Homo-oligomer: A and B are copies of this chain.
Amino acid sequence: MKIDPNSSKDLSAQIAQAIRDAIIKGDLIVDERLPSEAELSEHFDVSRPTVREALKRLAAQSLIRTQRGATGGAFVNRLTFEDAYGQQITTSTLLLSMNAVSFATACEARYALERACAPLSARRRNADHLATMRAEIHRQTQEGLSDEAFCASDVAFHRALVDGAGNPVLSYQLAGAVEAMQPLMNMITFTARSRVRIITLHGNIADAIEARDPKGADAALIDLENYTIELAQDVMARRAGA
């Protein structure tokens, strides 16, 4: 691991990159302890605060964890699916909010990905996944449910559908797409009338998944996508009119 003292980049960025590369390359393996901050600062010939800035960069990406004390230090962290979910959601959310992505584009991406999971989920879902979907549908029918709670339940429903595919890599990929859409979805579910229709469409999806009917699940998702687009257009039109 070496750095170029003449580079224009920050030393801490270079050091972080050097360690990151070592982890990706496999020179540093999971749970391996990195040299202490003092040793690293000597190795790279920089001060301890600079090393610390580099380590914090890596910690922000969940690549390392630190522990205080005699046997403490920085350890290569096993990147869990849960960690990755969180980063994926944060990144996707900011990506959508900062880049003027049209509702149509985001919606298309989300349903395209979800439809990729549906056939697998129809084949492999277990009783738990189905029960979660039904429970969330039931929650959605409750009077007096706030828009936020309705949307959270919506996310949970789709999450169960995706998890039903039994493929953690797919679940990870979808987490960002589904959760990042929540703020946008919030806009279009605030009338009682649209809720009823959405719940019906959710029911159709659950029915198809229960019947282990891949084509039916796909068709039901397309229905939901079309209705979502329709609602969004209504909201846009109403907003433009007002």
Interface residues of A (CB under 8 A from B): 12-13, 16, 20, 23-24, 26, 30, 49, 52-54, 56-61, 63, 78-81, 84, 87-88, 90-99, 101, 105-106, 108-110, 112-113, 115-117, 120, 167-170, 172-173, 176-177
A30-B98, A54-B56 known, 8 other contacts, Cβ within 8 Å? A53-B56, A78-B98, A78-B99, A88-B91, A95-B169, A108-B120, A113-B170, A169-B177
Which residues of B sit under 8 angstroms from A80, Cβ to Cβ?
A: 99
Copies of this chain, tallied across the complex: 2
Cβ-defined contact, A99 with B116, below 8 A: no
Give 5 nearest A-B pairs by CB, closest first: A109-B169, A57-B60, A116-B116, A60-B60, A112-B116
| CA–CA, A66 and B79, complex, Å | 28
| CA–CA, A93 and B173, complex, Å | 13
Q: Chain A interface secondary structure, helix, strand, loop or mixed?
A: helix
Which residues of B sit under 8 angstroms from A79, Cβ to Cβ?
A: 91, 94-95, 98-99
| CA–CA, A54 and B53, complex, Å | 8
| CA–CA, A59 and B59, complex, Å | 12
Which residues of B sit under 8 angstroms from A84, Cβ to Cβ?
A: 91-92, 95
A and B contact pairs by CB, cutoff 8 A, 30 listed: A20-B90, A23-B94, A24-B93, A26-B97, A30-B98, A49-B49, A53-B56, A56-B57, A58-B60, A61-B87, A61-B91, A63-B94, A78-B98, A79-B91, A81-B99, A84-B91, A95-B172, A101-B168, A101-B169, A108-B169, A109-B167, A109-B169, A109-B173, A110-B169, A112-B117, A112-B120, A113-B116, A115-B116, A116-B116, A173-B176
